[in-house]
Chains A and B, each alone.
Chain A
Amino acid sequence: MTDTPSAIRFDASNVDPDVPVAEVEVTTRYQEARAAMAVVATLREHGVPVRDIVVVARNLDGYEEPLTRAAIRQGVTPVFWTQIDLVETELYRLIVSLCELFGDAEPDSEVLLRPLELGWTPNEATDEWPLPAEMLAETSHRLPGDSRPIHAWNSLLDEARWTDRRVSEYVEWVANTPEPTPTTVAAVLGGVVESYRKSVLSDRQAADSPALLETETAARATVRMETLVEQVESKYNQRLSDGWTNESWTAVQGMCESLARQRPGRREHANARALDILEANDIWAREIPYVVIVGLVDGEWPIRTESTIPPELQHTILVGDGPAGRLAPRTAWHGGRDRDQICDTIAAATRGIIATRHALDVDENRQFRSPLLDHLDTELIDRAARQQLLNTDRALPKQIEPMLPDDGSEISGSDLDE
């Protein structure tokens, strides 16, 4: 018989027992996202302000895309309170594509034109920049498929009668790119970011929907890229001084990639009409009437984490007898972090919780209910109500209706009228 670590139980003491919990089980993650957003839209129809609803996931990586599309379909603008994924932004890819091009002695036409496709513009760009997709597709099609030095591309484009002068202007600019010293790197890349800000952002704004979803992301990326270029300059300078790298655009590209994946940066979102979608580590100490929790699937929440510490030693430390008692256990060893976060998430709700989960993964393997739900008294939404939630005659399931206030008023927070 062995000692059992004590602090491994779910602590439900800070969960408000008066808050009803409705549970929605659907087939796939995509359906789950739709169900979650249908709940949000239906609550909105019942007069619940968007700021009185929050959607929470343990990890938004797998949910951001389906939740986004589901929200838009329901007429809800979503905002995700996660750091911007710079790697998935146009400006970042523009910068990296330029580094790749500068570092390629003999680029092919795809590498040559990619920066243009990603919105490269000259410093003092006119309205005719960035170049339209059709023109670039045409140019790409006409260019030979082989690789050649940039000066050869320059000559080819100069001599070709079909060349658009803007493409020539760009290739000329590429050909004149200076050697990559820290100063020139900052100047070239910083200049590209600035041009993007001046010319492309407004272009994106003009083409965007009224909610400015893409514009907001592009604007955040621009701010982040400004910082990244400064960081690259500093890091590059340091590494050159230490002799850890040679002057090369490839090295600069590597630093961009390394720094971009660190994902710091602002997280503010600009749209007052948008629905907040958070990861659970951001819900702490908040109070929101309706909390929609997605992804309550075993393995996702709680998530299984690997540790380099052998399980036997983890156990000894968790039990805490003898010398091992002086060592601090990591909460992840016994799922403590996930438990804390579900407690915070539950505690945030002041009127009701809607917990959703999916039953099948993409390979149609079964996904099981999170054991964290075992500690809650949930009311399962039946099949008919679930179907109706997802259908065109959408209606709030009867298990959620009691969460609405009797008088229908949902105004909370400060209002200048009051």
Chain B
Amino acid sequence: MSDRSNKNDDTTDCDDPIKLRDAQRRIRDAYFDHDAGLHVLNCNPGAGKSLTITDVVPEELLRRYVAGDPTPEQRVCVVSFTRDDATDFVPKVIERLRELVEYDMTPAAAAVSDDDVEYLVERVRQAPLFGTIDSVFRRLFGEFVAEVGFAEMPDVGNEGQLTRLHADCYEELASESAYAEAIDVVEAGYPPGKYDDGPTDLLRQALHHCRSRRLTTAEFITELHATVDAVYDEGKTTSFDDVAAALARCVGIEAVDEARRSLDTVDREEVVAADQRLHAKWIGAIDAFETLLDGYREAYRRLTRERGVISHTDCSFLVAEFLSGNLGTDDTATKKRERVLKRYRDRIESVIIDESQDISQIQHEALAQVVTEDCRILAAGDLRQSVYVWRDAHPRLFERAVEEGRYLGIDWDTHVVETAATSYRCTPDVAAAVNAIAEPMLTDPTRGDVGALDVAYPRLDAVRDPNLVPSVHIAAFDTDAVPGSIPYVSPDSGKGEAGILATYLSCGLADGTLDHVDSETEATDEVGHGNPDVTVLFRWRTHMDRYRQAFEAEGLTVADASTYLFDSPAVTAAIDVAEWLADPVDTDRLRALVTESELGLSTLEATFEAHDWQLDAVRDAPSSDISSQQRDVLDRLNRLRVQRTTFRSQSAAVSLADIIDTLGLRVDLNDIDPRVEPAQRVANLDKLVELVGQWETQSLNDLNDLTDVLTQYRDEPYTGPTQPVHTDDHDVVLKTIHQMKGDESDIVALADIGHPLRKHGPVSQRFVATGPMVGLAPPIHAAAPGVEALSVYTRGLYDPDGDDAQFGLTTYPIDVGLRWASERWSNETRTEPSDSELVGHDRIQTATRLTRSEAWRLLFVALSRTRDHLVVPLPRDIPGSERPRDRWLESIRDGLEFDGTPAAGTYSIDVEAPGERIRSIDVAVNAVDTLTTHVTHDDAATPPPLTATSPPEKDDLPGLVPRLLRPSTIYPLSEEQEANILDHLQGRPLHTDTDTIDDELPLTLNEFDTEDVGSFVHGVLTQCVDHNISAHDLRGQSATVERIIDDQLHHHGPPADQAERDGLIEFLIQFVLPDFVTSKLWKQLERADTVTVEKPLRMHIRRDNVEFEVEGQADFLLQNPDGSWSITDAKIALTDMNTETRRRYEIQVSCYATLFAAESGVDGPINCAIETFGSVTDRQEIQFPSSELQEYLDTLLGGGK
């Protein structure tokens, strides 16, 4: 997708910086003209809302800086609602800051140097209050976490943790007897279904609502009761007259007459009794729900603090509650609150809010705590783009800001509103088409204006150059199927909605019909590749896959940005295996893995059954029923089972990555996920592992814990994230309109426009919290199936699971009975003339109206994403009766004045443009060359990613070659690498001889070992030489010698008792020192010009491109009077030395000589020797060619002998 939404798309001179125009400039000027006040930019799509903010912020920083504020970013708070917008913001502000100065676009620019600009750039990067609104609240919350019961700053918005936490909250309730009765009632009343929320979901939603509206449980329950009372506005049912009155109130007197006609006395009595039961059970369910919610909130409060995790809504809630004084009332908390409020209120002088229509009530209340009347506010938004009411957005707040100047809890004295109608995004024809469709739709009281929001429609006024070819396209098709149905979208024969759209796009891209309007437009980001970007927008995902198939059939490559990650077979296979690994002996788990997973083992069910569900037995079975692929899967499962214990000692993400690698899922070794492109499969699995890594905390670090979370997402993929779109080559992207919000595309195509708007509306919801209305539907066990029909209410009083098919209705019910929400229109139930309106219980219908109006705004958002070409698939004739209020189809058709003709070509329509002008636009109908087909990507020509073809195989890595060598370890490592490598890796001494001690020696070792003895004696000798101790003093054990001995005893060994110490000293005095002073080494030491003791030597040596790092210390390095060099190593023998030991010492000393020669550049021979003392007294002169060291290193390279 191109990222150009912030540009005024004036292409006349691309080198000049963009300048604010019209409303953008006026609001900017007004903002800077006032030190305080509310400034509102009410903005059309593409009118430069974000651009204005990106201009105002750097200018504000410049002005403050020039005025003497060295840290101006500390005074400004800039918030947006999506992380994408927030991350884009800082680079854009930096770019604009540089532009403002470079082009001298503001008076402050003249007063700053380049250094100043770079300094300000750094300050922008560190701005603490630039980001998402949630990030600002996180910062505020971090100031007082301890005062609200958290040990440290919790993890905010960690979905994995929260999913587990909610599950655990419910588990806690379910395990306590105090809640047993309430659990029974709620579970019976609200069993979970494929599209029905169960108790856990309902409690989670209720808790969320309580927090987002700052309601106590009692207040919340009062709201639920108010909804029941509104449904039973006539009071508790005592006679059929009460039911009749409700019918009359909801759908009109005709319905009452019909009911009275169709029901005899017995039926009526039954209806009354059923209605009484319904009411009683509903109240009972709410009472039980209250009990559970109380406990749930307490468990949630406690667990969030124990585990250190909260949701974003919790964070806003805690900020609002604490800063307003509702939470934390003791002295410490009060003082902290005062400090925090003072600090932030003193500091924040400007607040800038992008997409202001999306702010929620709790966010508004939290932000209001730190805003004062001295602040300068800039709020930019568009009520017509308010499509997040379902996610707590509260556009009424922005509406009040526009109309009344009330915002963030303040009635602003200074209140400036500017409306930016000019669109810099779309072509004039597209703007006209959007106006033609959207204006009547959004201002119609039965469509976009059905809700409480007062939506005006300032027409889009495009300033881009007009396109010479049509920008508005209709892909027309013939159908007699019900709009929105499968045959309508993709019939068995012929082209339905998906097929015709695919053909139009494919041919239009190929024949130039859908070319870029201007040549300067270039896509430069990761996914773009110079062609126009094409986005197909959906409200629902229901038919998305059918569209994908249709596009692929036309040779288009599709990136589906809306497929859920946890719908990916490779992803679910990994989760399935992780779930099995939690208890691989459990037969049920193994059965589920075999029969339900994507591993391709389901045909082995009988084989497993025959082998008593023993994996090993099946693996050993000679059965020909097991394919080689299945055998491979079974072998890999076995490897994981063996590996299972290692999962205990590593993070869950690493374990999951191990599972993926072991099963070869990225490579798809066993055709688990063959339909997905290799790159997409890799991206999906990457995302899974990275997501889990992100979720991990101390309490969610184990694979078993994690599996609990993952299986919930696997079972309900729509609750999780979508798959990444990372493929470089695609022609078309499929997205939901919500995913596209704030973005734009060269070509926008609408899909699935015949789908009924009521899908997933309040009628089918069990918990409704839309706008001011909160309600919990009656429990299903209150349904009264005995009362099958009550006039227009074919489901009687209440029957959410009823089958409407018998009444010839569609998949999505218009209502579920008299006692809940309805999607009925008054003119369908009443004969008296009146304005058509949605009928039903007024309180509940508030939610229906809000949901409906948002659905129409969503269509406006979809249309207004278009830059160059808008493509819509429309039937030439609408099958069945028209339902212009219930789906988008008619509104688009009417707006474009499409009557089914021409068969192919164009027609013109006149559209009212801003300023009472009329714009005539051409609409193309099937005007593409169907003989010119899109060139299909040649997948075979592009080699696949290595990751998708080659699993990581540790066994293929070259064997370990010791890198850090000591001269003393070269021999044992090369001779017996396998035996010595573990000690080598631990830095422990490598032994080549035994630890035996000659019987004649006076040594009885307890704390010391033979290694310690050697080190001790060795230390004494070298220290004595280093201290120039004379032979006399050595023999006579002078005080200095005694001190050296004491020091070395202390240094080289653990605490030893006196007897052991005495033995060591005796050994030294009797068996070492006398021989030492008579040795040839001693004589050499006495004669040498220079003596260096324990000479450190180090060298990096390469053999066959492999580098060894050799490091050691030669005991005695002497320069003789003739200039020659000698290296002698002293060895302490406690028993006879064997050949191996002698050889090891030879290599060691020779290595010293090699290192020394290389280090000091000595060309001549270096005399090497080993002098042995102790049990054996010996001197060995060493002759050693350097090639021998090379041979040893080569041996190491070859893995040892």
Instruction: State whether the Cβ of A159 lies closer than 8 Å to any Cβ in chain B.
Output: no
* Complex interface: chain A residues within 8 A of B266 (CB): none
- The answer to whether A1 touches B66, judged by C-beta atoms less than 8 angstroms apart, is yes
Partner of A383 from B91, B657, B687, B728 at Cβ < 8 Å: B728
Complex alpha-carbon distance, A388 and B116, angstroms: 43
Of the stretches B369-377, B494-502, B531-539, B642-650, the one at the interface is: B642-650
A residues less than 8 Å from B622 (CB atoms) = none
Asked if A138 and B585 sit within 8 Å, CB to CB, the answer is yes
- 0/1 interface trace, chain B 80-120, chain A, CB 8 Å (1 if under): 00011001101100000000000000000001110110110
Q: What residues of B have a CB within 8 angstroms of the CB of A316 in the complex? A: 70
Compute how far the CA of A74 lies from the CA of B958 in the bound complex, rounded to whole angstroms: 12
A269 neighbours in B (Cβ, 8 Å): 963-964
Q: Is A223 an interface residue (CB 8 A)?
A: yes
Q: Which A186-245 residues have a C-beta within 8 angstroms of B?
A: 197, 201-202, 205, 209-213, 215-216, 219-220, 222-223
- What is the CA–CA distance of A9 and B654 in the complex, to the nearest angstrom? 40
Q: Is A50 an interface residue (CB 8 A)?
A: yes
Q: Is the CB of B943 within 8 A of A391?
A: yes
Q: Is the CB of A413 within 8 A of B1100?
A: yes
Q: Does A394 contact B (CB under 8 A)?
A: yes
User: Across the interface, which residues of B come within 8 angstroms of A212, CB to CB?
Assistant: 959-960, 981, 985
Chain B CB within 8 A of A146 CB: no
User: Which listed residue, B71, B642, B643, B1193, touches A315 by the CB 8 Å rule?
Assistant: B71
Per-residue CB contact flags for chain B residues 939-963 toward chain A (1 = under 8 Å, else 0) read 0001111110111111111111111
Interface residues on chain A, size class: 35 or more
Are A311 and B71 neighbours in the complex by a CB distance under 8 Å? Answer: yes
B84 contacts A366, C-beta separation under 8 Å: yes
Q: Is the CB of B954 within 8 A of A5?
A: no
Q: Which B residue sits closest to A77, measured CB to CB?
A: B957
Is B721 among interface residues, defined by CB-CB distance under 8 A? yes
Q: Using Cβ atoms and an 8 Å threshold, which residues of chain A touch B691?
A: 362
Q: Which of A88-96, A162-170, A246-254 sits within the interface?
A: A88-96
A residues near B569, Cβ cutoff 8 Å: none
| Contact residues in A for B653 (Cβ distance below 8 Å) | 65
A49 nearest in chain B by CB position = B1105
Stretch of A24-32, A174-182, A347-355 with 4 or more beta carbons under 8 angstroms from chain B: A24-32
Bound Cα distance from A28 to B726, whole angstroms: 9
Q: Is A104 in the interface zone, CB < 8 Å from B?
A: no
Asked if residues A219 and B982 are in contact (CB atoms below 8 Å), the reply is: yes
Which residues does chain A contribute within 8 Å of B690, judged by CB atoms?
28-30, 362
Interface residues of B in 261-299 (CB under 8 A from A): none
Q: Does A223 lie within 8 Å of B986, measured CB to CB? A: yes
Partner among A76, A119, A271 whose Cβ is within 8 Å of the Cβ of B960: A271
B residues within 8 A CB of A319? 70
Q: Is A133 an interface residue (CB 8 A)?
A: yes
Q: Is A205 a contact partner of B982 (Cβ separation < 8 A)?
A: yes
B945 touches A363 (CB 8 A): no
CB of B1099 to closest CB in A, whole Å:
6
List A376-408 residues whose CB lies under 8 Å from chain B. 383, 387-388, 390-394
> Contact at A219–B986, with CB atoms within 8 Å?
yes
Contact across chains for B946 and A413 when beta carbons are under 8 A apart: no
Does A270 sit at the interface, judged by CB under 8 A? yes
Contact A413 B1102 (CB under 8 A): yes
Cross-chain contact A274 with B721 (CB below 8 angstroms): no
Q: Do B125 and A304 touch (CB < 8 A)?
A: yes
Contact check, A137 vs B583: say whether CB atoms are below 8 A apart. Answer: yes
> Which residues in chain A, 106-157, are within 8 Å of chain B measured between CB atoms?
114, 117-119, 132-134, 136-138, 140-141
A49 lies within 8 A of B960 (CB): no
A368 on the interface (CB 8 Å rule)? yes
Determine if A90 and B648 form an interchain contact, defined as CB atoms under 8 angstroms apart: yes
Contact across chains for A4 and B585 when beta carbons are under 8 A apart: no
CB distance from A263 to the nearest CB of B (A): 16
Whole-angstrom CA separation of A137 from B641 in the bound complex: 9
Tally inter-chain residue pairs, CB-CB below 8 A.
276
Q: Which residue from A31, A34, A73, A210 sits with its C-beta under 8 Å from B955?
A: A210
When the two chains form their complex, are residues A88 and B583 in contact, meaning their CB atoms are under 8 A apart? Answer: no
Q: How far is the CA of A389 from the CA of B1103 in the complex (A)?
A: 29
Q: How far is the CB of A167 from chain B (nearest CB, A)?
A: 15
CB contacts (< 8 Å) of B984 on chain A: these are 270
Q: Does A411 lie at the interface of the complex (its beta carbon under 8 Å from any beta carbon of B)? A: yes
B1158 CB within 8 Å of chain A: yes
Cβ contact within 8 Å between B985 and A215: yes
Of chain B, the residue at the smallest CB distance from A415 is B1102
Assembled-state Cα–Cα distance A270/B1196 (Å): 12
Q: Is the CB of B963 within 8 A of A4?
A: no
**A341-365 interface mask toward B, CB cutoff 8 Å, 1 = contact, 0 = none?**
0000000000000000001101111
Within 8 A of B (CB), among A260-290: 266, 268-274
Contacting pair A366 B726 (CB below 8 A): no
Q: How far is the CA of A219 from the CA of B115 in the complex (A)?
A: 52
Does the CB pair A1–B1100 fall under 8 Å? Answer: no
Which residue in chain A gives the minimum CB-CB distance to B1102? A415
B409-430 near A? 1/0 per residue, CB < 8 Å: 0000000000000000000000
Cβ contact within 8 Å between A390 and B1102:
no
Asked if B71 and A364 sit within 8 Å, CB to CB, the answer is no
Please indicate the chain A residues that have their CB under 8 angstroms from the CB of B1105 in the complex: 47, 49-51, 410-411
Q: Is B661 an interface residue (CB 8 A)?
A: yes
B625 on the A face (CB < 8 A): no
Q: Separation in Å of the B667 CB from the closest CB of chain A?
A: 10
Q: Which residues of A contact B88 (CB under 8 A)?
A: 366
* In the bound complex, CA of A51 to CA of B648 (Å): 34
Q: Which residues of chain A are within 8 angstroms of B958 by Cβ–Cβ distance?
A: 75, 77, 210-211, 273
Residues 40-78 of A, flagged 1 when their CB comes within 8 A of B and 0 if not, give: 000000010111000000000010010001101111110
**Option from A117, A298, A368, A388 in Cβ contact (under 8 Å) with B648:** A117
A76 / chain B contacts, CB cutoff of 8 Å: 957
| A367 to B648 alpha-carbon distance, docked (Å) | 34
Question: Which 10 pairs of residues, A with B, have the shortest CB-CB distance?
Answer: A210-B959, A272-B963, A219-B985, A209-B954, A90-B649, A211-B957, A49-B1105, A72-B952, A141-B585, A2-B70
Known: A133-B643, A272-B1108. 6 other contacts (CB 8 A): A137-B644, A210-B957, A211-B954, A274-B963, A298-B125, A319-B70
Which residues of A are in contact with B by a Cβ distance under 8 Å? 1-5, 8-9, 25, 27-31, 34, 38, 47, 49-51, 62, 65, 69-70, 72-77, 88-90, 92-94, 114, 117-119, 132-134, 136-138, 140-141, 197, 201-202, 205, 209-213, 215-216, 219-220, 222-223, 266, 268-274, 298, 304, 311-312, 315-316, 319, 334-335, 359-360, 362-368, 371, 383, 387-388, 390-394, 410-411, 413-417
Enumerate 16 A-B pairs (CB-CB under 8 Å) in ascending A order.
Answer: A2-B68, A76-B957, A90-B646, A202-B982, A205-B982, A212-B959, A269-B964, A272-B1108, A311-B71, A319-B70, A359-B526, A362-B693, A364-B725, A390-B947, A410-B1105, A416-B1103
Chain B residues with CB under 8 Å of chain A are 65-71, 74, 83-84, 87-88, 90-91, 111-113, 115-116, 118-119, 121-122, 125-126, 525-526, 529, 583-586, 616, 641-646, 648-651, 653-654, 657, 661, 683, 686-687, 689-691, 693-694, 721, 724-726, 728, 942-947, 949-964, 981-982, 984-987, 1099-1103, 1105-1109, 1154, 1158, 1186-1187, 1189-1190, 1193, 1196, 1199
